């Protein structure tokens, strides 16, 4: 682990504090009229998602965590676990759905994802901004039905339910935003 000072903090940087893994969401250097300078930060616990505010003295030393980004291919599900293969070393790892978080709604067999690893622990995923998925089930749209705002629920191949326009039919491929889970367009 690299030791850095609080003057070197940047947004998105990972820190190891008090035995936990945190990511810097926001920081601000403050130099009051009298007294010592300090750094006011907002940090997010990577494991639990809790966001806290913490103040450091200017120049205080903190431990920077090294997060390794590995591109992996999702192969198949083994029980409740997801089996990924490292694209460089071809090693296969079993990943619990809890470690993937919301990414379980967007990964399908043979798709790739970037897994964020701290040592051998998976602490997050980087997905593309949009993915193409097939609609497994949706009701047919009824002509003239505008009470629902022109949308209907559709279940995707991963089990995620999104609101789609009335003209979308089952077995069509659609683009879905991975950040919001919203329908974007036909694929």
pLDDT band per the 50, 70, 90 thresholds, residue 1? low
pLDDT digits (tens, 9 = 90+) for 47-100: 788 899 999 888 889 888 888 888 888 888 888 888 989 888 888 888 888 888
pLDDT digits (tens, 9 = 90+) for 111-144: 888 888 888 888 888 888 888 888 888 887 666 6
In the Cβ-directed half-sphere of 115, how many Cα atoms lie within 13 Å? 30
First to last CA, the chain: 44
Quick check: 145 pLDDT over 60? Answer: no
Q: What is d(CA 114, CA 127) in angstroms, rounded to the nearest whole number?
A: 7
Quick check: 149 pLDDT over 80? Answer: no
In this prediction, residue 147 carries a pLDDT of: 62
For range 104-117, the mean pLDDT: 86
The average confidence (pLDDT) of the chain is 85
Measuring CA to CA, which residue among 76, 35, 78, 42 is closest to residue 57? 35
pTM confidence score: 0.70
In this prediction, residue 53 carries a pLDDT of: 92
Burial 50-87 (b: 16+ CB within 10 A, else e): eeeeeebeeeeebeebebeebebbbeeeeeeebbbbee
Sorted by where each starts, the structural domains of the chain and their CATH numbers stand as 2-64 (2.30.30.30), 68-126 (2.40.50.140), 130-186 (2.40.50.140)
Quick check: 146 pLDDT over 70? Answer: no
Quick check: 46 pLDDT over 60? Answer: yes
């Amino acid at each position: 682990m690299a030791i850095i000072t609080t003057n070197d903090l940047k947004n998105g940087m990972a820190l190891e504090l008090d035995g936990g893994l945190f990511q810097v969401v926001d920081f601000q250097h403050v130099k009051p009229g009298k007294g010592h300078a300090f750094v006011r930060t907002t940090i997010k616990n990577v494991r639990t998602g809790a966001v806290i505010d913490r103040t450091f003295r200017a120049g205080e030393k903190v431990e920077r965590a090294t997060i390794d980004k590995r591109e992996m291919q999702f192969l198949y599900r083994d029980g409740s676990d997801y089996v990924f293969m490292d694209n460089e070393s071809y090693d296969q790892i079993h990943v619990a759905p809890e470690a993937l978080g919301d990414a379980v709604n967007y990964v399908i067999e043979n798709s790739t994802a970037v897994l964020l690893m701290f040592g051998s622990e998976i602490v997050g995923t980087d997905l593309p901004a949009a993915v193409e998925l097939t609609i497994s089930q949706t009701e047919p749209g009824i002509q003239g039905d505008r009470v629902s705002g022109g949308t209907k629920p559709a279940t995707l191949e991963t089990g995620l339910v999104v609101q789609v326009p009335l003209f979308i039919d089952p077995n069509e491929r659609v683009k879905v935003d991975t950040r919001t889970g919203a329908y974007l367009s036909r694929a």
